[in-house]
Amino acid sequence: MPDAAPHAYRVLDSETLFDGRVISLRRDTVAMPGGGDSVREVVAHPGAVAVVAVDDEDRVLLLRQYRHPVGRYLWELPAGLRDADGEPPLETAKRELAEEALLAAQRWSLLTTHYSSPGFTDEQVLIYLAEGLSAVDRPEGFVVEHEELDMTIERVPLADAVQRVFDGDIRNASAVVGLLATAQVRAARPRLRDVDAV
């Protein structure tokens, strides 16, 4: 959907403050539409994908993984960065499902595309629904390391996973969005975008 009206914001100056392995931080000076300018700190991010993998018993795959920035374990969906140069997001989703859950899917749908926290980062996450699951070997060359060594996997009835969102047990944003979107797809059959859309 196009913007309702063209915006009058312009970047007057941009300075890179940090350039890391995954993210970078820059300070932009932006012209405001009513006059004057304002400084915005922006975390640049390559983007990510997440997968709601639902089996034939309507159970969804959840991963429990430690996340250092929040200092706790979180229940999440299989997910990963879009950091492979030139790899389409659907292929990233397929790769992540195989790497983290040793699964492939016969049917793929694009559920949602969202910005994680657009007040400070450009991170965009595409969430896919994967159905018709089957076991596969871990992709060649992928090494399980760091927090993934401690990761656990659970299959949970979709309705129970949705309730866990409302109970506050599932707090990862992509998991919340993905599980609620999947429940809505099951309940109302909304029209979904093309699986290759971004």
Q: Which residues are catalytic?
A: 148
**Residue-wise DSSP of 96-157:** HHHHHHSEEEEEEEEEEEEES-TTTB--EEEEEEEEEEEE-PPPTT----GGGGG-EEEEEE
User: Which amino acid is it at 37?
Assistant: D
- What is the DSSP-derived secondary structure letter of residue 71? T
CA distance 85 to 103: 23
